[in-house]
Structure 1
Amino acid sequence: MRSVRTFLSQGPLLPTLVLVVLLVDSLGKDLNLPPGWDFDSYEITIPKKLSFRGGVQGVAKHVSYLLQVKGKSHVLHLWPKRFLLPRNLQVFSFTELGRLWEDHPYIPSNCNYMGLVEGNQDSEATLSTCMGVLRGILKIDASHYQIEPLKASSSFEHVIYLLKKEEEFPHQICGLTDDETLKQMAQHKNVARISDFSQSYMHQKYLELALVFDHSRYIFLNSNLSRVINDAILLSSIMDTYFQDVRMRIHLTGVEVWTDEDKIRLTYPKLEQVLGQFMVYRTSVLNARFPVDWIHLYLKRNYSDSLALYLGNVCTKFHAGSTSVFPDVNVLGPATWSTHALGHGVGMRHDEEYCQCKGRHSCIMGSGQYGFSNCSYAHFFAHIYSGAKCLTNIPELSYVVKRCGNKIVEEDEECDCGSIEDCKNDHCCQPDCKFKHGAKCSIGLCCHKCQFRPSGYKCRLEENECDLAEYCNGTSALCPSDTYKQDGTPCKDEAHCFNKACQSRFMQCQKIFGPDATEAPLQCYVAINVIGDQYGNCGISGVREYRKCNRRNALCGRIQCINVNTIPDMPDHTILISTHLHDENLKCWGIGYHPAMVPMGLPDLGVVSDGTSCGRNNVCFNRNCVNSSVLKFDCFPEKCNHRGVCNNNKNCHCMYGWSPPLCEELGYGGSIDSGPPGPLKEGVPTSVQVVSLMFVRLIFLIISVIVVFFKKIIGNFKTQRESNPTT
């Protein structure tokens, strides 16, 4: 029997991923959907923002709306998107004379959302409230809607259009034909094995994107640059929602609008010819302007194909781009085309008949908008595993103009204390970003009162038994890079160090449920993790499919604990579950996790940590119990002469009394990476300290022996006197 406790802001939210996309500008009756994307009906609705007792609802956190669609009430629970936009979006346009103009318009934070539709298992939505109104795309059941603010409405009225066409994306409009796919695939030699995909899935990917709009598109929007920017944000938000299913985030870095004239020739019959010109423009111009992973060009013109791209070239400088048409005001079609094009860029190919997404065949890489298919997952992770290293870089969320006074020490600056007012309170740095007289530093763990800390000062303490300390070198304000014991180093309770922590189920249970908790016996793991649901599994396959654990891997699925006496405070949306095993009379506690929580950035607290032991010479890795050789631990005691351990750089970190690199000679310990540790007592050599300690211990031993000896003599003397009394 299972008992589930959910930590939610308002009621139990069904674990359903919902998309809704909003934007800033009110289009109202200017909305003009093209014939291929006509609407069957429309209705006027007034979205009602919901508030809850207890102050859970916040401006920067969760937002909920009550929305009437087709006579039914729908509650949208929304969370702000992260990583979608930088703090200052780069926007490039051109004056009438053709001069380049750069701007960084203010865009409110936390106004682009995605979330869940309560009570609907087949709904998707992405919404924005940047200008206090709603605009975007909703999918409820099998229907797509476009929501727009009603122009000049004083009562927050919105129009919801039911889009007619469900499958309006045939392969014919994609410039990447099957023959071209085979041709481009032949150029890619590195192909991952299917068994390796799980490793690629485990890590979040990030793609930095730039969007370019042609002159006709700018004219179509009445030469309103703000509307073009709003469309760019909306399009990238829809793309981001789609790609979150494969654990990749879209980060819109910049926008370029050809406000004066087109910068390349566009008068070709096919987009693939335009793409060639655009790639030349990217190489010669845009690469310096936008150092991004992918650039997409939107065109207002009509072509025989609707998009063109190169297969699997996301991290190349010369072919990482695509083009597609943006013929009207409807954004769902162009956003889907862009996603399709970028899908090809990250290695996805057209879907075959057997490919499915969420139970349907109309998937992004086929002819629909229902997400990526199982085939696309396989293609994507194969491509990621074989390379695409640029997708592992976490994007910078803020754009900072290089200048003296921004509190960032940059080239040719000794320090940077900020504004003149800020610098009044700084004892080390001047407003001109130069050190004050006599100062050697201003910031850093090894800087104290404008001077370097002495060599041997411990600037970073050990966090736990798997961490190692770092020391100042006396000539720099910076503390050496953080080091820790090599993965696989033994630690307490027969566990192993991994990722700077001693990994064990016992400590994980105590961290989650408190000091009384302990790891559950094997019966809990076998009974629960073989089920294959959000409470017991060995990983997530695809969007909503859980992988059942076999008995061998059961200890590497979801953590199971016992002796849970109190329910701890947990983050919102954390699901605690207790399972009662009647035969064993055990109550097993764990934490559930649903795939819909991944795009919200909610951490999975309940998975057994990698590096945790699962048997003799075996550890958990990617939800599998594998040989501990996967940790690549090669630091045997002989390497450091039994006087140290290896750090994460595979260099010896010596015990006090011995010096690196191999702990052969006398010294103060540490490694070639840690900085030089100082002596325990200033001015006393290590050898003297060791001899002194041994001498003191010897003195105590001699004194103890003497005391015992005299006690025995005195005792014998007293005994003799008592047995021979004098008269």
Structure 2
Amino acid sequence: MQSKNAQLIFIHRTFKTSNWSSREKFSGAEQYEIVYPQKLHAVHRRAAGTSSESKYDDIVKYGIKANGEEVVLQLQKNRDLLAGDYSETLYSADGRQITTTPRIKDHCYYGGHVEGDAESVASISTCTGLSGYFETRGQKFLIEPLGASDRDEHVVYKYEALKQEPIKTCGLVNNSWEQDSSDPIKAIFRSSNSPEMKAYLKSKKYVELYVVADNALYKKYDEDTKNVRQRIFGIVNYINTVYKAINTHVALVGLEVWTDGDKCPLTRNAGFTLEAFSKWRRSDLLKRKRNDNAQLITGLDFEGTTIGLAFMKSICSDAFSAAVLLNFHFKSKPANMNWDLIGMCEAAGLYSQTSPWGGKSQVWGQEPEVGDPWASGQAGKNTT
């Protein structure tokens, strides 16, 4: 007990904040704190097969201040962020497809919680300092680095302190969570009264996700595929933090960057872009790479207030399990992701696999009919 108290005293003394000395460096929030995270001693366990030369520990702890209070982020590396057959596809200047299967043994993406708060969650990247999102005691916080390491200055601010931006929403047909769009994961549990559905929600589920970055996004990241990769990995890591509540793991099976130009017609009309991307997935992608769901992250700005669009009840459908999303502030807009962004929406109660990285989908009840939703006018409608 004495050693624990001593550790807490040490944490308190090593927390550092400044009186807004770096305000000129950050303009993303109205109010924020400047902090210096303190990396705390943790048990350095390594997963089986992990090299002792790994740059990033499997388990890390950081002490920071949030809203004037000391908090400890207890983080564990997302070992299953990438599927076993993860691949990356780029294109040469003359349009040749270049696909590699990098064996990424080490990475810097973590999930976890705030010590002492069983209801808390955290999704953090430690690649270049601490960057990500954590929620504790009903309050949402974001942390961003102002330097290049975890020892440099960081900003911590509340989600509510973000500077006002135009409200963006996710498009979905017949969204039964419209009255509680702030937390659709909780809505799933409230609407799941049958013993079968409750048993399903407790069972382990897996989704193999394929992400495509369009040419506009590639250019926004200065045509640097490393930066695009970091962005996508961070998004998938965050999605896993959210879906953990319904015992669902999302593994990135592939990343494709349209480096030489877009492979299907894309416009600022979200409905048109979703249809075009879905057709490209069926005619091209599925012939060379299996996936449960494909996402297009675009650097374009959709018309109106739409941030993303997906087919409803499509996760079990080879034909329509696709979605299109803006490159929005995912870490800065957790409430706006609406979780239908990986096409699960109400299909979240339908999907299960027999094994983590293969096997046929098993469905409670009937699988959604695979017709042409565009012909019936059922796709591309926004619930804004």
TM-score clears 0.5:
yes
User: Which residue is 1:255 aligned to?
Assistant: 255
User: Which residue is 1:285 aligned to?
Assistant: 284
User: Which residue is 1:219 aligned to?
Assistant: 219
Secondary structure of 1:288's match?
A: helix
- CA 1:154–1:61 in structure 2 vs 1: closer, same or farther (change >3 Å)? closer
Q: Tell me by how many angstroms 1:224 deviates.
A: 0.9
What is the rounded CA distance, in whole Å, between the counterparts of 2:106 and 2:337 in structure 1? 27
What is the rounded CA distance, in whole Å, between the counterparts of 1:49 and 1:152 in structure 2? 15
Q: Does 1:48 align with 2:48?
A: no
User: Which residue is 1:68 aligned to?
Assistant: 65
Q: Tell me by how many angstroms 1:177 deviates.
A: 4.2
Letter in 1 for 2:66: V
Q: Tell me by how many angstroms 1:149 deviates.
A: 2.5
Q: Tell me by how many angstroms 1:245 deviates.
A: 0.4
- CA 1:322–1:139 in structure 2 vs 1: closer, same or farther (change >3 Å)? same
User: Which residue is 1:201 aligned to?
Assistant: 201
Where in structure 2 are the equivalents of 1:303-702 lying within 5 Å? 303=302, 304=304, 305-327=306-328, 331-333=331-333, 336-337=336-337, 339-342=339-342, 345-347=344-346, 380=348, 383-384=349-350, 388-389=351-352, 391-395=353-357
Q: Does 1:57 align with 2:47?
A: no
- CA 1:73–1:179 in structure 2 vs 1: closer, same or farther (change >3 Å)? closer
Alpha-carbon displacement from aligned partner over 1:69-98 (angstroms, at most 9, x marks no partner): 233221112222232213563111111211
> Out of 123, 145, 150, which is 1:149 matched to?
145
Contact kept? 2:128, 2:148, Cα under 8 Å: no
Alpha-carbon displacement from aligned partner over 1:241-269 (angstroms, at most 9, x marks no partner): 11110111111111111111111111253
Letter in 1 for 2:198: S
- CA 1:165–1:44 in structure 2 vs 1: closer, same or farther (change >3 Å)? closer
What is the rounded CA distance, in whole Å, between the counterparts of 1:147 and 1:119 in structure 2? 19
Q: Tell me by how many angstroms 1:193 deviates.
A: 7.8
User: Which residue is 2:294 aligned to?
Assistant: 295
Secondary structure of 1:249's match?
A: strand
What is the rounded CA distance, in whole Å, between the counterparts of 2:176 and 2:266 in structure 1? 22
Aligned length: 316
| Bigger shift: residues 60-69 or 171-180 | 171-180
User: Which residue is 2:116 aligned to?
Assistant: 119
Q: Tell me by how many angstroms 1:133 deviates.
A: 2.8
Q: What is the TM-score with the length of structure 1 in the denominator?
A: 0.39
- CA 1:48–1:232 in structure 2 vs 1: closer, same or farther (change >3 Å)? same
Q: Tell me by how many angstroms 1:237 deviates.
A: 0.8
What is the rounded CA distance, in whole Å, between the counterparts of 2:73 and 2:236 in structure 1? 21
- CA 1:108–1:43 in structure 2 vs 1: closer, same or farther (change >3 Å)? farther
What is the rounded CA distance, in whole Å, between the counterparts of 2:338 and 2:156 in structure 1? 24
Contact kept? 1:112, 1:127, Cα under 8 Å: yes
Contact kept? 1:217, 1:300, Cα under 8 Å: yes
Q: Tell me by how many angstroms 1:110 deviates.
A: 6.2
User: Which residue is 1:237 aligned to?
Assistant: 237
What is the rounded CA distance, in whole Å, between the counterparts of 2:338 and 2:234 in structure 1? 12
Alpha-carbon RMSD across the aligned residues, in angstroms, is 3.7
Q: Does 1:163 align with 2:163?
A: no
Contact kept? 2:128, 2:145, Cα under 8 Å: no
More strand by share: 2
- CA 1:124–1:262 in structure 2 vs 1: closer, same or farther (change >3 Å)? same
- Which gives a bigger RCO, structure 1 or 2 (Cα 8 Å, sep 6+)? 2
Contact kept? 2:134, 2:142, Cα under 8 Å: yes
What is the rounded CA distance, in whole Å, between the counterparts of 1:100 and 1:119 in structure 2? 49
Letter in 1 for 2:256: E
What is the rounded CA distance, in whole Å, between the counterparts of 1:47 and 1:180 in structure 2? 41
What is the rounded CA distance, in whole Å, between the counterparts of 2:139 and 2:193 in structure 1? 37
What is the rounded CA distance, in whole Å, between the counterparts of 1:172 and 1:161 in structure 2? 21
- CA 1:318–1:169 in structure 2 vs 1: closer, same or farther (change >3 Å)? farther
Contact kept? 1:143, 1:162, Cα under 8 Å: yes
What is the rounded CA distance, in whole Å, between the counterparts of 1:339 and 1:206 in structure 2? 15
Alpha-carbon displacement from aligned partner over 1:587-643 (angstroms, at most 9, x marks no partner): xxxxxxxxxxxxxxxxxxxxxxxxxxxxxxxxxxxxxxxxxxxxxxxxxxxxxxxxx
- CA 1:168–1:84 in structure 2 vs 1: closer, same or farther (change >3 Å)? farther
Contact kept? 1:201, 1:247, Cα under 8 Å: yes
What is the rounded CA distance, in whole Å, between the counterparts of 1:140 and 1:323 in structure 2? 30
Q: Tell me by how many angstroms 1:316 deviates.
A: 1.5
- CA 1:87–1:208 in structure 2 vs 1: closer, same or farther (change >3 Å)? closer
Q: Does 1:78 align with 2:75?
A: yes
What is the rounded CA distance, in whole Å, between the counterparts of 1:234 and 1:314 in structure 2? 22
- CA 1:332–1:254 in structure 2 vs 1: closer, same or farther (change >3 Å)? farther
Q: Tell me by how many angstroms 1:307 deviates.
A: 1.5
Contact kept? 1:298, 1:326, Cα under 8 Å: yes
